[in-house]
Chains A and B, each alone.
Chain A
């Protein structure tokens, strides 16, 4: 390259290195309804915590309590597919239903929903012992269709999370077993 062209290239480099800056914008839109801030009015939970029992189908491989998990199962499907069921409990409401559902949604690459959208999508079920919120979501994980069937409920001062996650078709096929498992959850008898 001729030496006399060098300064021109330098100017070009400096100009374009600074290109593509974002800008603050302002606009007017038709009025939108505001939503309630999640977690502001979290319900009080009763005193005391405890352990739960459950009945799992025979083909679920019971891995027992490990680490943070109060219960853990591996479920094998066809073609070597495996789904994972975890039972976890945390003190308090752990950010509320919306934050936890959105955390799960993030795990399968789905965008977060508003609390109103989540409230509308949750299936509320009363079992013999608990009021349980059930959610189902299908997205992708590592490029594979992945589904989460989840159940959230309070017991004592803790929030309990039962999550079945795995290949979408396997989790869908196990949905009835998952619901039976959730329905079987009961306080442990001393």
Chain B
């Protein structure tokens, strides 16, 4: 083993590293708990736990610099530390099997958390009775979409994540005959018709609106502070300019508050532009056949919410009905559909759609750790009783 490899092994298998990482994780939890006041649970998870480094802007600039290790780094190093310690210090023997099994369970738990953090998807699927959808929508993320409507059977969609718009980063894409240049971005804003603003409202308090196309010129933008309430959703507004080979096509005001996409023509083709909740299309469609909202007799206290749905694979390989209700989600193609919200008066149901490839790992980890600890304590008890028997015999 050469010098560098040796120093790696010594570093990663040391107990000092374990203590340092545990100390870092305590600091991380403490700082993240305080930050939750401003960022909310989702924001804190993203910034502190689902990251390798916690980033902060360098003072006076917009340049992000790492300020402390994030959850993935600490968790990853803890796992490497545990593995390295086992390989170098622990010996594989029956009397230590309990410790090995417990530690292995811990590793499975850490890996499971990493898989969940990296791969879990969480969307909502809102369906009216009789409606069929083959996509779900993000609870938080938004996207600017440019839809080519020229094909009689299909729509060609180019989806630009909100982060590009927030960074005001121009986008050139092979499927677009023009460039998209974000000109202004408000992460949370109200928009309203200028002709319908309440009297006495100070128009100078509105954000500058230099849109030239679509409904934009008739709207006022009123920026709002970002909401970190987990029950509320921020609705962004952006001004987006499209630039073709012969110059600007105009500037559009886009926002998820504008429910319909805005149509325009370019080079003989029909296009639409919209800022909408981020969609994830699936290769199956869900149809809401019937929803029911039962209450306890003689009261308005909810007894049961349920949605009868029909799942149809787009390739025709699956066509079945399923009843989704509390604690009885539908599992299909790795997705789990939970009953989330319902408005029976208005005839719609909202399902939460979760995909988590690592969902079984915490159960396996707990089982391994239970077996490990049981083995360990049983062995101790056995040795203790043997010693006591020996002592009483003498």
- Which residues of A pack against B, CB within 8 Å? 1-2, 4-5, 13, 16-17, 19-32, 34-40, 42, 90-96, 98-99, 102-103, 106, 108-115, 117, 120-121, 135-143, 159, 169, 172-173
Of the candidate stretches B79-87, B103-111, B159-167, B383-391, the one touching chain A is B159-167
Does B260 reach chain A (CB closer than 8 Å)? yes
CB-based nearest B residue for A93 = B196
For the complex, what is the distance from the CA of A94 to the CA of B220, rounded to whole Å? Answer: 11
Of the candidate stretches B240-248, B328-336, B341-349, B368-376, the one touching chain A is B341-349
Residue among A27, A34, A102, A108 making CB contact with B263, cutoff 8 Å: A34
Give the shortest distance, in Å, between A140 (CB) and chain B (any CB). Answer: 5
Give the shortest distance, in Å, between B173 (CB) and chain A (any CB). Answer: 6
For the complex, what is the distance from the CA of A115 to the CA of B259, rounded to whole Å? Answer: 7
For the complex, what is the distance from the CA of A23 to the CA of B169, rounded to whole Å? Answer: 12
Residue from the set B52, B72, B342 with the largest chain A CB neighbour count within 10 Å: B52
The reply to whether B53 and A17 form a contact with Cβ atoms under 8 Å apart is: yes
For the complex, what is the distance from the CA of A13 to the CA of B343, rounded to whole Å? Answer: 48
**A-B contacts, CB under 8 A, total:** 174
> Which residues does chain A contribute within 8 Å of B152, judged by CB atoms?
31
Asked whether A30 and B154 contact (CB < 8 A) given A95-B196, A141-B231, the answer is yes
> Which residues does chain A contribute within 8 Å of B272, judged by CB atoms?
34
> Which residues does chain B contribute within 8 Å of A106, judged by CB atoms?
232-233, 235
Asked whether A16 and B53 contact (CB < 8 A) given A22-B161, A110-B341, A136-B345, the answer is yes
> Which residues does chain B contribute within 8 Å of A40, judged by CB atoms?
215
> Which residues does chain A contribute within 8 Å of B323, judged by CB atoms?
none
Give the shortest distance, in Å, between B74 (CB) and chain A (any CB). Answer: 13
B interface residues, tally (CB under 8 Å): 74
Residue among A24, A92, A120 making CB contact with B159, cutoff 8 Å: A24
For the complex, what is the distance from the CA of A2 to the CA of B11, rounded to whole Å? Answer: 8
The reply to whether A112 and B193 form a contact with Cβ atoms under 8 Å apart is: no
Q: Closest 6 CB pairs between A and B?
A: A92-B196, A22-B161, A16-B52, A121-B346, A35-B260, A109-B231
Can you spell out 6 A-B residue pairs with CB atoms less than 8 angstroms apart?
A5-B11, A16-B52, A22-B163, A31-B152, A120-B128, A169-B300
> Which residues does chain A contribute within 8 Å of B261, judged by CB atoms?
34-35
Does B7 reach chain A (CB closer than 8 Å)? yes
For the complex, what is the distance from the CA of A172 to the CA of B344, rounded to whole Å? Answer: 13
Does B192 reach chain A (CB closer than 8 Å)? yes
Residues 172-215 of B, flagged 1 when their CB comes within 8 A of A and 0 if not, give: 01110000000000000011110111110000000000000011
> Which residues does chain B contribute within 8 Å of A90, judged by CB atoms?
196, 198
> Which residues does chain A contribute within 8 Å of B156, judged by CB atoms?
26-28
The reply to whether B300 and A172 form a contact with Cβ atoms under 8 Å apart is: yes
For the complex, what is the distance from the CA of A108 to the CA of B55, rounded to whole Å? Answer: 33
Give the shortest distance, in Å, between B338 (CB) and chain A (any CB). Answer: 15
For the complex, what is the distance from the CA of A109 to the CA of B262, rounded to whole Å? Answer: 26
Asked whether A92 and B157 contact (CB < 8 A) given A37-B262, A98-B259, A136-B346, the answer is no
Residues 141-154 of B, flagged 1 when their CB comes within 8 A of A and 0 if not, give: 00000000101111
> Which residues does chain A contribute within 8 Å of B153, judged by CB atoms?
30-31
For the complex, what is the distance from the CA of A176 to the CA of B366, rounded to whole Å? Answer: 52
CB-based nearest B residue for A98 = B259
The reply to whether A35 and B53 form a contact with Cβ atoms under 8 Å apart is: no
Asked whether A95 and B193 contact (CB < 8 A) given A2-B11, A27-B157, A36-B260, the answer is yes
Give the shortest distance, in Å, between B236 (CB) and chain A (any CB). Answer: 13
Does B66 reach chain A (CB closer than 8 Å)? yes
> Which residues does chain A contribute within 8 Å of B218, judged by CB atoms?
39
Give the shortest distance, in Å, between B121 (CB) and chain A (any CB). Answer: 14
Residue from the set A24, A98, A112 with the largest chain B CB neighbour count within 10 Å: A24
> Which residues does chain A contribute within 8 Å of B92, judged by CB atoms?
none
Give the shortest distance, in Å, between B358 (CB) and chain A (any CB). Answer: 18
The reply to whether A5 and B348 form a contact with Cβ atoms under 8 Å apart is: no
For the complex, what is the distance from the CA of A62 to the CA of B218, rounded to whole Å? Answer: 38
For the complex, what is the distance from the CA of A115 to the CA of B215, rounded to whole Å? Answer: 15
CB-based nearest A residue for B10 = A2
The reply to whether B160 and A24 form a contact with Cβ atoms under 8 Å apart is: yes
Residues 62-79 of B, flagged 1 when their CB comes within 8 A of A and 0 if not, give: 001110000011000000
For the complex, what is the distance from the CA of A111 to the CA of B127, rounded to whole Å? Answer: 12
The reply to whether B343 and A34 form a contact with Cβ atoms under 8 Å apart is: no
> Which residues does chain A contribute within 8 Å of B199, judged by CB atoms?
91
For the complex, what is the distance from the CA of A182 to the CA of B214, rounded to whole Å? Answer: 37
> Which residues does chain A contribute within 8 Å of B231, judged by CB atoms?
108-109, 139-143
Residue among A13, A23, A115, A141 making CB contact with B161, cutoff 8 Å: A23
Give the shortest distance, in Å, between B68 (CB) and chain A (any CB). Answer: 11
> Which residues does chain A contribute within 8 Å of B51, judged by CB atoms?
20
Given contacts A13-B52, A91-B196, A138-B341, 5 further A-B contacts (CB under 8 A): A26-B159, A42-B193, A136-B345, A137-B346, A139-B341
Does B158 reach chain A (CB closer than 8 Å)? yes
> Which residues does chain B contribute within 8 Å of A110, judged by CB atoms?
341, 343, 350
> Which residues does chain B contribute within 8 Å of A93, judged by CB atoms?
193, 196
Give the shortest distance, in Å, between B38 (CB) and chain A (any CB). Answer: 18
Does B306 reach chain A (CB closer than 8 Å)? no
> Which residues does chain A contribute within 8 Å of B347, judged by CB atoms?
120-121
